[in-house]
Structure 1
Amino acid sequence: MRQTWRWFGPKDLCSIDDITQVGAVGVVSALHHVPNGVVWTREEIEKRKSEIGTRRDGTPSGLTWDVVESLPVSEDIKKQKNDWREHIANYKTSLRNLADSGIEVICYNFMPVLDWTRTNLTWTLPNGGSCMRFDINDFAAFDIHILQRRGAEADFTNAIVDEAARRAAAMSEDDKKRLARNVTMGLPGSTESLSLDDVREHLAQYGSIDADQLRQHFIDFLEEVVPVAEDLGLRLCCHPDDPPFSLLGLPRVMSTEADYRTILEAVDSPANGATLCSGSLGARPDNDLPGMMERLGSKVHFIHLRNVKRDGEALRDSFYEAEHLAGDTDMVALIAAIVREEARRKAEGRADAVIPMRPDHGQDILDDLGRRSQPGYPTIGRMKGLAELRGVMTALEHATYGLAKP
């Protein structure tokens, strides 16, 4: 695997100099300041490439921009409303501009309204560190009592509805604002965020769009952009829903292996692939991550390695972001499946035999605490995670003892 690191641009508290010291060889980044649906220009792309390739002192960093995460799919495209056709045209132009700059892997998602969703961004761990957490009871308190979505109670069990009412009654106004801000934070690194009124408006516009219709909108989008990507030699890879189950009564269409298989088979192309995110998919107990890598591996273009610990075995449950080797996903088994897939690709002579990966998220520990980094992206916590993952990869790829031996 090619070890990469997510970087949110010059305002990121983790600098390019820091990334060179943690041992990553590539960078995952995006033009977070460009509004969704607007063209990414060659000038802005080249500016970001230059920023990645340069240390503070002006010397070359040796780092390259390996993966775009994310080139956002606008809500208009997902709903097929308003300016959605113009946004698809702009998406194609952005793909051409990225290809002209030599970037081949483009990650995106098709989650309606909310991107990744957490209820607590600084949940305290027993060791004094902190991490992000999704609590289904707190989310229900937001949905029923803060957002006040009509019919929300029907989406939760009676026990969750009762607990949500108790928690909402105990919240101060500041507590409610904090919870609402956490839930509606939006795409990591984006300058765009949603107010409660924004969320209500989006929900109204989605109206009767169910999972089948949203899935068809997704396929319509892919039928437009995948031929362009294939002609350009690009690899598009959809990130799974996070968390991988319905929220706010909205459909989710990329939460399971079956979801991925439907989308990959609907538009069958080397340019139409998957981002395998072990943390997002791992929040569902019925997702077999090592098995998914074995069965879908030929279409996996990008990998996020992180772990979560679920509170129980329900499909819609609470979870927190665990240490990379300590959650419910068997990370050693997953990495072994990735190593075997890379070996298969090398044997086939594929140019993309080495799959880019990044240590996704991390717990805030040591000097990370109080630094107010992008939620989920502390420097030291991610570096610890990368070190752990690198140890597993090194063992499994060992020429004599590992899975990749001749």
Structure 2
Amino acid sequence: MTELVQLCGGQVTCNFQAMNRGQVQVTVRVPLYVTLISASTGGHQSWTSVEHQTEIEFSSSYASVLLCQRGVAETKLALAVQPHMTRIRTDPNNGRLVIEFQTETRFARRYLEGGSRLLSPPHHHFVAGQWLGLDLELMWSQIYPTGATFQKWRAVSNYTLQDYTGNYKLVLAPCPASSDSQQPANKFGRPMNNKKEDCQAADPFNVTLPIHYQQPFRPEPVHYSLETTFQLTNDVRAPLRKPRSIDDIKDAEFEGSFHNGERVYGRVLWHPSNELLPGYRLSIEKLYLCAGRDSYVLLFEPNAERPQFGCLENSQRLKYRLLLLDREDPYGSDKDVQGLSLDAKFASQVDQLRTGMAHLPSMDGFVFSVDPLFQLEPGIRWFLQYN
């Protein structure tokens, strides 16, 4: 009713008028606007609209005898509210059931987190030699001006099943407010101090939550690796040659050095022996440029006893570490060195390379300028790494 008045522009026409049997009624009229829009069928194309306005009447009643000097007298009648289920899912990492729901009290104060719990169906209680349960956590509370409380909850199972279907029992412990223990709350409904709120907990309130949920069948993942080749050159035409054999790859190798004023053209391609179908496409996501301290040689050995990740992971052994390209976050890459632009681009951003690689799904490339690197101290050994 409050939202109808505050958000929808409703007007209270009958406020707390006593009725028979000790009930109180409140009536709100809400304006309703309807606009009908249609296209004219004549020779000149135009639109016409007809606007209508009417009112909708909402009424609500409650039993005032349930409210007494010390909060709620008839707890079970006052708490007869079905929790609203917002989300049911399984954790993708471990397959455990996650239930999220909301409650809203019809009385002053809230449900206690400590005394509330969610019980699994009887046929789930004891499986594979262990007791099964759910951990219930209160995620959020908000107190309305009337004293009623809106709460969000989350329950996570401590087990994994293929079929979670069953009737779950939600036990809620109400904490009605007494007239002499009112505690101020902030706009988010959290108490303003950390002291435990005085509460004479009422009898627990049980609600049945019927849940029908089965985990989708997930086949065992298939792991495979593809052999790729990483090549650099100063010739813009070299990356566009499609290799058909191992000899073609060797012929495209560049064994020279780069000089000031040149650009580095790089490409990553699948080995011809992979025999992949045209439906697959290779794509470079990130490109790093780095250099080690004191002639340190970078290695990529993630499975070694002391793992090394080359340029991918920042470490004290790196003197320079630049993220030249990032497909997901283009603005997060390093654009220059000492004020000079690296002008790094993916092949898809260069007209000449984009046109040539459009029909080569097994290949991706990049280009950048080496001029800024010559502004640094000489003798630096640079490494490029992609993923």
- Bin of the TM-score, shorter chain as denominator length: under 0.3
Bigger RCO (CA 8 Å, 6+ sep): 1
TM-score, normalising length: structure 2: 0.19
TM-score, normalising length: structure 1: 0.19
- Greater share of residues in strand: 2
